[in-house]
Chain A
């Protein structure tokens, strides 16, 4: 299909790509520029700030009105705890589905597949009401607690990941465990000592994907969390900027940039797996 292009057609191709590049990168560049613009408004912003300064970053870190570092910490903490627990529970379930033969195995796998058809956010009203009830009885797990949010995320994380993980485990030859059994290992030891170390790559990928997904989640956090010091970055940033684009643009830009950097880095780290996962039907949230 492709031949060595003529000069003109080559020029057109590069032009088209450059045009899209401008579209793709302009918001990013504009945010970087805005974060260094000391005026903190959208009105007077130039592409290259006349007197670049760290003023917005300092305001971001020090303001008690919008505890950005705390929000960021909340997001990282919640994403971290959820991802670790989710990967642990996922590997256990995936191992059983991959290695053991038992009644109800196929049906169980189907249920896991069918449930993930309905994204958890669809049931946000029910989940909110659920924790409203829980709150009356066990306030420690009620609305506006990180525990409630983590538990919610855990519930939603199991279905998809079990399938991805099972697919990977199926490719590890059984002979490895059989050798371990002969040496007297229990099934759990075989899983823990033999299979898990071999599955490290997929564990890492699942962990990072899960982390990215939860860090970026907005709806359920919005519904379940309410007090300022409990918010995640996604909800905090939204309440902070809420319609005040004229006045808070500089600080918001700095926050957006700092908030995005960890995820962008993680994304490029696991990009290869995201891309191969894409062709298997995953859609990033």
Chain B
């Protein structure tokens, strides 16, 4: 019985992996035909790894680690490296495809030569699956049968052609039924998709009445790395991600290619980019610093007040004050955007009632930034309050007693006991919070999408944009088209800063050493 179970399990396992590998193989073939070689390599390595892990008894622990690790490698590690790659290319609108893809696309373009043969035609349809056959006739009366993208010469008396009423009009071919003129008109779009290949030419629908020949317009010559326009002999050379003729005519689309550090140099040297970038850069630091400072100060004051055993309603106050932290940040940010609305928001209405006029919370850089700091204070102070409450409990009461005996005032007790000890224990969390706010996309973007816009910026940069929202807008919201290369360059800079902050934090806390000892 027991043995049977083991055997059954083994069979099940082999069956599972046979299916899995079959699927992987099928995917591999697809990837190969699509020439997606990066994915192909990833797929093969992944499949081999999974098979080795689960079908052999060696490396037993791997069985537990591999599933999660594969996801992490593919969706966290690989994107990081891919970001590095993209940052070194001109990847963006107009330069999305690889060079091979562009060549293939160009080689599939055809032109209509002047002395091209024209064909009158009759179209036939298979009503079961909607396939078409076309019967072409040139001026000399020769017949051609076009089916499945191929062309075949056919004799007038071929037995596939059925002309039951003998009126010279073929009504049926191979069970395909002749289309009436009305039906042709209705299915014109479908007929236009028919491409019949014959000896380097393509025969295609020209107009309602006829098919005609097209011949390829471009040919790539790998030995010279250039594209020839077969129509007029013009040569196109590779230049900055495009094929360009001697006269400077560019073939669209362009392709992505390696441009080295150019994106980084643009950030530093191109005045129309570097100016706004620098302002975004500085504001990102100001934003993260002010966010931590304001939330920490308010959170700490509340923690000190709530830590007092003599305070009534402590539990209730604490529960109510945590509410902002419990609401998903995207909801809070959108709600605050409504409250701060220039024209209809409650805040400006209150200000109007008190001061006589509202403030430009959305359109003025200073006030927009102020609003953001207020919003983030609301979102973040409960967190600081909670960690400070935890930290306060670990400060021994004797310290205060000793200080009181020495005659220290309340302020002195705070300044020389509470604050230093608090900072020691929550310091690492403040740094982590700095790193978090440094990349706090949600609040910035949902409040005002980085606006108001900077005047004269070539890239979509706003006064409240931080680096991460800037990369988002470069990639997805630019009126001039996406610039993935530049966005990735900015991302690399964020990576480096984030790594630096974290490294500093690890050094400061000795967390890494602690981890090393305990793992």
Residues on A close to B: CB < 8 A?
1-5, 10, 13, 16-17, 20-21, 23-25, 27-28, 30-31, 41-43, 45, 89-90, 92-93, 95-97, 100, 102, 105-106, 108-110, 112-113, 115, 117-130, 133-134, 136-138, 151-152, 154-156, 158-159, 162, 187, 212, 215-216, 218-219, 223, 234, 237-238, 241, 245-246, 249, 252-253, 256, 259-260, 263-264, 267-268, 271, 275, 278-279, 281, 283-285
Contact = CB atoms under 8 A, between A and B. Distances in A.
A16 B439 CA distance: 31
Nearest to B96: A132
Contacts of A10: 310-311
B71 to A, nearest CB: 4
Interface stretch (B111-119, B154-162, B280-288, B488-496): B488-496
Contacts, number: 280
Nearest to A159: B72
Contact of B301 (A16, A136, A259, A283): A16
Sorting the interface of chain B by its residue count into under 10, 10 to 19, 20 to 34 or 35 or more gives 35 or more
B317 A17 contact: yes
B515 A256 contact: no
A158 B344 contact: no
A43 B418 CA distance: 47
Residue among A3, A137, A215 with max Cβ neighbours from chain B (10 Å): A137
Contact of B68 (A90, A152, A264): A90
Residue of A95, A100, A118, A215 most packed against chain B (CB within 10 A): A118
B220 interface: no
B86 A129 contact: yes
B424 interface: no
Given A10-B310, A27-B336, 9 more contacts: A27-B378, A90-B68, A118-B498, A158-B68, A218-B446, A238-B446, A278-B390, A279-B391, A284-B383
A234 B387 CA distance: 28
A126 B80 contact: yes
A133 B86 CA distance: 14
Nearest to A132: B96
B329 A285 contact: yes
Contacts of B61: 96, 100, 102, 105
A20 B329 CA distance: 19
> Top 9 nearest A-B pairs by Cβ distance?
A155-B75, A96-B64, A123-B79, A267-B326, A126-B79, A216-B328, A89-B68, A42-B344, A100-B61
Nearest to B320: A21
B404 to A, nearest CB: 8
B76 A123 contact: yes
Contact of B338 (A126, A137, A245): A245
B321 interface: yes
Given A219-B442, A241-B338, A4 B310 contact: yes
B468 A122 contact: yes
A81 to B, nearest CB: 13
A145 to B, nearest CB: 14
Contacts of B330: 216, 218, 234, 237-238
Contacts of A25: 320, 323
A20 B321 contact: yes
Contacts of B311: 10, 13
Given A27-B378, A219-B441, A264-B323, A125 B487 contact: yes
B326 A13 contact: no
Interface in B75-98: 75-80, 82-83, 86, 91
B397 interface: yes
Contacts of A41: 344
Central interface residue in B79, B80, B471, by most chain A CB within 10 Å: B79
A151 B386 contact: no
B519 interface: yes
Contacts of A223: 472, 476
B338 A1 contact: no
Nearest to A163: B515
Given A102-B59, A118-B495, A264-B326, A27 B65 contact: no
Contacts of A263: 326-328
A95 to B, nearest CB: 6
A279 B339 CA distance: 33
B413 interface: yes
A237 B66 CA distance: 37
B170 to A, nearest CB: 39
A127 B33 CA distance: 23
B197 interface: no
B192 interface: no
Given A21-B320, A267-B326, A260 B386 contact: no
Given A117-B502, A245-B345, A246-B343, A154 B75 contact: yes
Nearest to B397: A1
A151 B75 contact: yes
A21 B321 contact: yes
B25 to A, nearest CB: 14
A118 B67 CA distance: 21
Contacts of A121: 439, 441, 468
A42 B487 CA distance: 37
A155 B71 contact: yes
A225 B190 CA distance: 31
A187 B60 contact: yes
Contacts of A267: 325-326
A128 B475 contact: yes
B188 interface: no
Nearest to A167: B518
B8 interface: no
B329 A216 contact: yes
A265 to B, nearest CB: 9
B302 A20 contact: yes
Contacts of A128: 475-476
Interface string B378-401: 100111001100110000010010
Nearest to A99: B61
B86 A284 contact: no
Contacts of A127: 75, 79
Contacts of A42: 338, 341, 344-346
Contacts of B519: 97, 105-106, 109
Contacts of A136: 34, 36
B359 interface: no
B438 to A, nearest CB: 10
Interface in B211-228: none
Contacts of A138: 27, 30
A249 to B, nearest CB: 6
Contacts of A253: 335
Contact of B65 (A97, A218, A241): A97
Contacts of B381: 20, 24
B69 A158 contact: yes
